[in-house]
Chains A and B, each alone.
Chain A
């Protein structure tokens, strides 16, 4: 077997998926390792995955009610979903961008597909996000929220957020090895993105203020706007007036990020690791 044989560029997005499928056993162990290691020394263990969004929601609801005087009784639910959705995207983006530099000790002795490490971090975050969603259960009783078939869209939108963050991270990871400033930039974007994404505000708030002009087109370039709004609609049972181009932009950004991300990662990651 010849190591480092040439692989055609247009097949790389498919090769990434094939490699991940072949490494599913390792992927499962890495996710288990990350989950075990994350809360092993904490007294409350996995409860932190539920407590964190719940406590943040309490703080933001308190601030928002005082500052803006919001009287929406479902506002805490919307905030929790915003936090879970945004955290899912931000953590997937950050972990996959950092995956090459943070897993360097594992690359140094084993020949495994490097996408495994970017993906295991993303899957770990997905499991934690699913655990976090259980903090919504009390709100179903308090507000008598509807349990409909729409609820099935909740994990779908979470997957879209996770996939898009992971794919953009694949694109940036080899560049971050060469230019460490990228990691600082990502940290800044994650902080700024929290306010630019519908975490504390909602799609309806944006629409009523800016309407459907060019502001709306720019807002839909943010890949978290449609999925977070979709998560809220799935839980609350409402239907936000997201235009068709909004959905199209959301899926195109995710798909293009994956195609280019897979190509750049597969071509550049191996050499980038040498530089680290």
Chain B
């Protein structure tokens, strides 16, 4: 199977704030991670808060540079992170969709072709031409998911945003991700929603203190994770 992304011994450490430097605190980040994402797979990343999941995703998106190690990609990569991240509150949903598309490296003509689909998937109706500041957080998320998945990247990275909106929209988002996979796209998803991950992931990775603890079949990795949580309790 074709490899769409390869990480080799990547490390990134956040600087420890000045006031904590005298204390014995390890810098957070990710350490010595090697990983391959294959075409058509859905890789779920789980771990506690602050374990390095989002940092790893940002490095995969090429947003954060590693201190050491190499990241190589094949094809386009798109990161969907947070509710309404990157949206400008004074611009309308339509204007933000064009801006988002441009940030993803798409031309106006390419976005023109997809704009109707983005509008109908997001179910925003007339709100699509109103400023984002008038949107609820659910509406912003729907627009975000609709825009990010519309451009069909070779590798889609999702950080904690798939479980938003009402039940029907959640189902719709899951189906969209499944469609992406069917079209040979690959997905890496970070979430705390075990039910969601179990239903869509083909492989799972457990991360702790910036290091990979376990990687493999979802049920096995989830078992390791729940055992770990029980030990801590």
Contacts and interface: CB of A to CB of B under 8 A. Distances in A.
Interface of A: 1-4, 25-26, 29-30, 33, 36-37, 40-41, 105-112, 270-271, 273-275
A221 B63 CA distance: 38
Contacts of B63: 107-111, 273
Contact of B72 (A3, A105, A107, A110): A3
A112 B64 contact: no
Contact of B98 (A29, A108, A111, A275): A29
Given A3-B62, A33-B99, A110 B104 contact: yes
A33 B88 contact: yes
B156 to A, nearest CB: 12
A271 B68 CA distance: 12
Contacts of B90: 36-37, 40-41
Interface centre among A1, A3, A30, A108 (most CB of B within 10 A): A3
A1 B15 contact: no
B177 interface: no
Interface of B: 12, 14-15, 58, 61-66, 70-74, 77, 79-82, 85-86, 88, 90-91, 95, 98-99, 102-105, 107-108, 131
24 contacts: A1-B73, A2-B71, A3-B71, A3-B72, A4-B65, A4-B70, A25-B107, A25-B108, A26-B102, A33-B95, A106-B103, A108-B58, A108-B86, A109-B63, A109-B81, A109-B85, A109-B86, A110-B61, A110-B86, A111-B61, A111-B63, A273-B64, A274-B14, A275-B15
Main secondary structure of the interface of A (DSSP, over half): helix
A4 B66 contact: yes
A37 B88 contact: yes
Contacts of B88: 33, 37
Interface centre among A1, A40, A273 (most CB of B within 10 A): A1
Contact of A109 (B70, B80, B98): B80
Contacts of B85: 105, 108-109
Contacts of B131: 40
A110 B79 CA distance: 7
A227 to B, nearest CB: 32
Given A108-B58, A111-B62, A3 B91 contact: no
B77 to A, nearest CB: 7
Nearest to A271: B65
Contact of B95 (A36, A108, A112, A270): A36
Contacts of B58: 108
B66 to A, nearest CB: 7
Nearest to B60: A3
9 closest Cβ contacts across the A-B interface? Answer: A111-B62, A37-B90, A110-B103, A26-B102, A109-B79, A3-B71, A270-B65, A4-B65, A3-B62
Contacts of A112: 103, 105
Given A105-B85, A108-B58, 17 more contacts: A1-B72, A2-B71, A3-B73, A4-B62, A26-B102, A26-B103, A30-B99, A33-B95, A36-B91, A37-B91, A108-B81, A109-B63, A109-B80, A109-B85, A270-B65, A274-B64, A274-B65
A102 B1 CA distance: 41
Contacts of A41: 90
B166 to A, nearest CB: 24
Contacts of A105: 85-86
Contacts of A274: 12, 14, 64-65
Contacts of A37: 88, 90-91
A106 B95 contact: no
Interface centre among B58, B103, B107, B108 (most CB of A within 10 A): B103
